[in-house]
Homo-oligomer: A and B are copies of this chain.
């Protein structure tokens, strides 16, 4: 005879598919001797049979349920429906994959007019018992018999009204007894049937309901959205109810096997005497620390310690457990892996290896890469933060915490910071002209823009706290203030930002510095030993490069040269270059820029030693370097000697309807080959000079942006090669320069076989590739992408995690075609996605050589890369 029903302990955790997650775990705990309230599980195979046979059950089922019920009654010394010692059970769903709240549950099953008397005798608590009974009728009536909850609610309200009270707790046993009768009548009225008094019938009906709920519309759409496929169905768990509120020898509590905040190996939890689980959660009564239990019930306390050690050893992870003591008898209701802070995760993982509980691979897999973000930035003091009031909320655009005086322009930010003040730059949105101010500020707050807005991208690159797109605030530059409703914050007022949550606070909140403890270093070392792909950083300036190296970057995957054109004098020459009307005057301006660029590159090369440094040539449209305000234009006119009229004409002629798809990237270098030449010269000469000074073999890699057709690359490559050739003669050693391209235009990916004929390396610019592949402007898509994710059209924002089926498909084509032409082609990624764990895993799977991300995400990428490699094993 096929076995359909398993008494707890007959199965184990390997049987999730048939017993469901919950059932398998209850069996497992029982098996290893944890005192779980006894019960049995009806296999998910029954659910499968049920739907394949027109909602009928296998013939053997009834008998097996009866046998297990008898076994349960014998074990508990109690009987379902008994008027002396009644057994109450819960009936719960539980599939192989958790679908919280999607299917049905019935508690307190077994109550009827007889057993309610038995329960009163047993508990001595009439009110509790009648309350349990009326709750049972409500729940059963709703879930099993289909009577809408509000019908019951109306009756309860009428009783309260009659009595003139407001809360349920004001009703006494007598009132609740009346409610029971009214509830029974509700059921009769809406179903035409009497509320079933036979507990065995109650049980069967509840089982039917749970199996039936497998295919309710809610559950079906949950499975569709979460792509849950191939399950047999749900199992049904029938378990003895236990009560922690049966007097002073009863109680309930929750605890962790280690400190979930710090990871310290200690017993950590709290409990309440004479209470139910929800009382602990509800926070009406203040629970006592778990150590207090030692005084009250030393035996159970010792048992708990024994149990938790056993569980941790068995499950090999920190456990989050719930227990109930019913009249001095201890039951464990649940054990599961406990949630923890990043610091705790790292400490627990490393210490468990030392304790021999887990191996290094497991330890590495135990820490979620994204969690590390917490460890790498300054944080608000958690205690002080609890007290503080959130005045507005924006997007958590760049993690960390920032406290400072509000300023509204980059200039003031810079000046105040020079004076030693800590400032927060508040802008409607930022532009490349704000870079210096952003750099000087503690943090950045913008009213507009998404997770990939200019402010967000630059701030993450700088490892600086940023709250973006905070639509609650209304900024007036003129009055130098912003408002949130009636609250006005003026220039010089202190505010505090939490870049990890997007929260904005008034005043100063203390912060705590990140501590890259020894455990962190150990874990990262292990991660590095497992990962297969390289991790580089996106860094534009020597300071960032140094941070990147500190965080373990193995090179620079992207240096954006345009950021170099904004500081100080440079922007003047850049503007002169743009406003030049002849090649000669353009060259003259470029000659002025050359020394700046060269010195920047030298700084990078010095920081990176013999690690590769990929430098991308000028990418953004030229209009980004010109001002748009009248007074700024006048200023520039004076500086450059070009008439205001001419400057305005130039600005107008550079205006584009879709700058994203406009005159930028290599298109600039093709229109103005002298820009490419100057940049190439700065790189090549800088590399030689550093090599000479340090004796190191500098590895400069020159990257041409926005290539869609191989001819663009050939054009630019010729210019760069000429510069390299010229330099070779000037210096006595040879350096390994290479020339490659961004793959960020779909056409470039599609024709990667052609492009690879010229390109010595590829780097996926997945920001732009996403924009063009999906047809989303990063600056504009925020407003509808949110809805897209809500509707489930996209699972995730494709600018945050690589859209694997779309953009990822494009990448695969490019890799396949590129390596067909050049089998050893080095391919990496330097878009924002390079530091996002699911994207890193994808990059590993499709065979990239490295990922590159902002310096502050390098450890995350390293860990994610290790996860990817370990998951593949």
Q: Which residues of A contact B (CB under 8 A)?
A: 656-663, 667, 670-671, 706, 708-709, 711-712, 715, 744-747, 750-751, 754, 768, 771-777, 779-781, 783-784, 787-788, 791-794, 803, 805-807, 809-810
Contacts and interface: CB of A to CB of B under 8 A. Distances in A.
Nearest to A744: B775
Nearest to A776: B661
Contacts of A775: 661, 706, 708, 744-747, 768, 772
B750 A773 contact: yes
Contact of A793 (B661, B709, B784): B709
Contacts of A663: 780, 783-784
Most chain B CB within 10 A, of A656, A750, A807, is at A750
Contact of A773 (B667, B772, B793, B807): B772
A662 B777 contact: yes
24 contacts: A657-B659, A657-B660, A657-B779, A658-B779, A659-B777, A659-B780, A661-B661, A661-B771, A661-B777, A661-B781, A663-B780, A663-B784, A670-B793, A706-B775, A708-B773, A708-B775, A712-B793, A744-B775, A746-B773, A746-B775, A746-B810, A750-B806, A750-B809, A751-B805
A780 B661 contact: yes
Contact of A777 (B658, B783, B792, B805): B658
Contacts of A745: 773-775
Contacts of A750: 773, 806, 809-810
A555 to B, nearest CB: 27
Nearest to A770: B747
A711 B777 contact: no
Given A657-B780, A660-B658, A806-B709, A772 B794 contact: no
A792 B711 contact: yes
A758 to B, nearest CB: 12
Given A656-B779, A659-B780, A712-B788, 10 more contacts: A656-B777, A657-B659, A657-B777, A657-B779, A658-B658, A670-B788, A709-B806, A715-B793, A751-B805, A768-B775
Which 4 pairs, one residue from A and one from B, show the smallest C-beta to C-beta distance?
A658-B777, A661-B777, A711-B793, A747-B806
A709 B751 CA distance: 23
A217 to B, nearest CB: 15
B670 A806 contact: no
A405 B796 CA distance: 57
Contacts of A807: 747
B746 A794 contact: no
A751 B809 contact: yes
A110 to B, nearest CB: 45
B777 A670 contact: no
Contacts of A805: 751, 754
A711 B708 CA distance: 29
B774 A662 contact: no
Contacts of A772: 661, 746, 772-773, 775
Given A747-B774, A750-B806, A780-B663, A711 B794 contact: yes
A356 B744 CA distance: 57
Nearest to A805: B751
Nearest to A707: B775
A670 B784 contact: yes
A709 B806 CA distance: 8
Most chain B CB within 10 A, of A658, A709, A772, A805, is at A658
A660 B661 contact: yes
Most chain B CB within 10 A, of A657, A747, A777, A806, is at A747
A796 to B, nearest CB: 12
B806 A708 contact: yes
A667 B783 CA distance: 10
A711 B785 CA distance: 13
Contacts of A803: 747
A787 B658 contact: no
Contacts of A773: 708, 745-747, 750, 772
B774 A711 contact: no
A612 to B, nearest CB: 26
A41 to B, nearest CB: 37
Contacts of A781: 661-662
Contacts of A783: 663
A751 B798 CA distance: 15
A818 to B, nearest CB: 14
Nearest to A771: B661
Most chain B CB within 10 A, of A774, A780, A784, A810, is at A780
Contacts of A659: 657-658, 777, 780
B660 A777 contact: yes
Given A656-B780, A709-B806, A787 B747 contact: no
Nearest to A749: B746
A671 B783 CA distance: 10
A486 B671 CA distance: 32
A712 B775 CA distance: 13
Nearest to A710: B793
Contacts of A667: 784
Nearest to A750: B809
A256 B747 CA distance: 47
Most chain B CB within 10 A, of A751, A784, A792, is at A784
Contacts of A771: 661
B791 A662 contact: no
A805 to B, nearest CB: 6
A424 to B, nearest CB: 25
A616 to B, nearest CB: 16
Nearest to A795: B711
A863 to B, nearest CB: 30
Contacts of A787: 670-671
Contacts of A670: 784, 787-788, 791, 793
A658 B661 CA distance: 8
A706 to B, nearest CB: 7
A820 B775 CA distance: 24
A661 B793 CA distance: 17
Nearest to A621: B780
A661 B782 CA distance: 12
